[in-house]
């Protein structure tokens, strides 16, 4: 398998941060993933090195054959250096655990980055569709088509009573996880965030940070996803997101933004303009601070503040200020302090520092 170059992907914001799509002011992206395994092999954790290689080869070949539309890149994770692996994590194309694992493992993704497949993660297959904004139906339609196309090439491990068999029991059944990435800066500012997130948890939803499982909520981004996969059809799950979960959270955030604008416009503007000031003036900046500042600027743009900043630039910077993207852009490996300096230089350059 010839390895395609990742250089070309670095400069774009990818799909999940394109900043378009319905309700994108609050719903950053919609993601659906399906966990699948194939018959004839043990689950990943119990497979031998040889079996893992065979699984990777089999599934990569099957994906190549199933005629999915678009240009698909097949990446052998084993052959990547740590920086390229981290790059794929930052773009939400692979999970941290796939990046950090050992042995034969791959990611196959369509160039737009809307569709991707992880091979030899926890399950043999993790199909993912990522759409900017709130696009539950479109994402479902797309992943369903991928699933069907692949099903024609391989034999899925399926049990008539339990449904799709998965390595972890929490995924058995439909193997589906629906996640929406939400941007909730106003709820953080009004102090109501924890209340809202707790309500989500009470609805049996998991709340995670920007980079998935085990990561902190950075820059006011929260990933909300289902935890139950058994005994509930995909349609029921999507319905609950569409009619219940999302309208409620989105409305909370909208109300918080309105309340801030009405009662404490100066406090809100202060956050926004300080973020602009930092991004345009700092000489050193951590990736967390960059995320937080970009988050406030993003909100400022969405409530119509005349920041003379382009939303597209902000969305790109969300990714480009991340460690791997930053180093790829600079074309060299950088220490933590060097990254901090390079990151501040990047935001100044992109956002038009007025004086150097």
- Spell out the residues 6+ positions from residue 81 whose beta carbon is closer than 8 angstroms to its own: none
How is residue 236 written in tokens?
């029921």
By CB neighbour count within 10 A (0-12 exposed, 13-18 middle, 19+ buried), where does 316 fall?
Answer: buried
Output the smallest distance, CB 300 to its own copies, in A: 11
Q: How far apart are CA 117 and CA 119, in angstroms?
A: 6
Closest listed residue to residue 181, CA positions, set 223, 137, 236, 225: 223
CA dihedral of 32, 38, 41, 46, whole degrees rounded to 10 = 20
**Nearer CB in complex with its own copies: 146/345:** 345
Rounded to whole angstroms, the maximal C-alpha distance in the chain is 67
Output the smallest distance, CB 309 to its own copies, in A: 10
Place of tokens 């390229």: 84
Output the smallest distance, CB 270 to its own copies, in A: 4
Strands lying side by side in the sheet with 176-183 = 72-76, 106-110, 115-119, 125-132, 27-36, 176-183, 221-226, 205-208
**Nearer CB in complex with its own copies: 44/257:** 257
Output the smallest distance, CB 279 to its own copies, in A: 8
**Nearer CB in complex with its own copies: 218/307:** 307
Interface contacts to its own copies, rule CB under 8 A? 266-267, 269-270, 273-274, 276-278, 280-284, 306-308, 337, 341, 344, 354-355
**Nearer CB in complex with its own copies: 307/311:** 307
Output the smallest distance, CB 312 to its own copies, in A: 19
**Nearer CB in complex with its own copies: 231/277:** 277
**Nearer CB in complex with its own copies: 46/283:** 283
Output the smallest distance, CB 310 to its own copies, in A: 14
């Amino acid at each position: 398998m010839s390895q395609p170059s990742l250089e070309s992907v670095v400069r774009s914001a990818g799909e999940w941060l394109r900043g378009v799509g319905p309700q994108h002011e609050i719903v950053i992206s919609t993601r659906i993933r399906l966990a699948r395994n194939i018959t004839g092999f043990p689950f990943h954790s119990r497979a031998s090195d040889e079996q893992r290689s065979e699984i990777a080869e089999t599934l990569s070949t099957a994906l190549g054959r199933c005629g999915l539309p678009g240009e698909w890149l097949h990446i052998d994770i084993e052959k990547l250096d740590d920086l390229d692996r981290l790059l794929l994590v930052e773009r939400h194309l692979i999970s941290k655990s796939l990046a950090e694992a050992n042995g034969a493992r791959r990611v196959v993704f369509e160039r737009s980055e809307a569709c991707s497949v992880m091979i030899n993660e926890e399950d043999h297959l993790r199909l993912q569709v990522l759409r900017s904004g709130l696009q539950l139906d479109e994402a479902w339609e797309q992943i369903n088509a991928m699933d069907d196309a692949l099903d024609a090439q391989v034999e899925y491990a399926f049990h008539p009573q339990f449904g799709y068999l998965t390595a972890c029991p929490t995924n058995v059944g439909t193997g589906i996880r629906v996640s929406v990435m939400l941007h909730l800066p106003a709820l953080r500012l009004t102090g109501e965030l924890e209340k809202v997130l707790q309500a989500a948890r009470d609805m049996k939803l998991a709340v995670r940070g920007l980079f998935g499982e085990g990561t902190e909520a950075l820059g006011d981004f929260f990933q909300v996803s289902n935890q139950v996969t058994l005994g509930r059809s995909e349609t029921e799950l999507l319905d609950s997101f569409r009619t219940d979960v999302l309208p409620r959270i989105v409305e909370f955030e909208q109300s918080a933004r309105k309340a801030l604008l009405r009662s404490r416009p100066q406090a809100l503007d202060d956050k926004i303009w300080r973020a602009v000031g930092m991004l345009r003036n700092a000489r050193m900046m951590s990736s967390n601070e960059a995320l937080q500042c970009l988050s406030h600027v993003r909100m400022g743009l969405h409530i119509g503040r005349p920041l003379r900043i382009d939303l597209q630039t902000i969305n790109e910077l969300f990714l480009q200020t991340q460690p791997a993207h930053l180093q790829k852009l600079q074309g060299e490996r950088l220490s933590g302090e060097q990254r901090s300096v390079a990151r501040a230089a990047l935001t100044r350059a992109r956002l038009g520092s007025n004086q150097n």
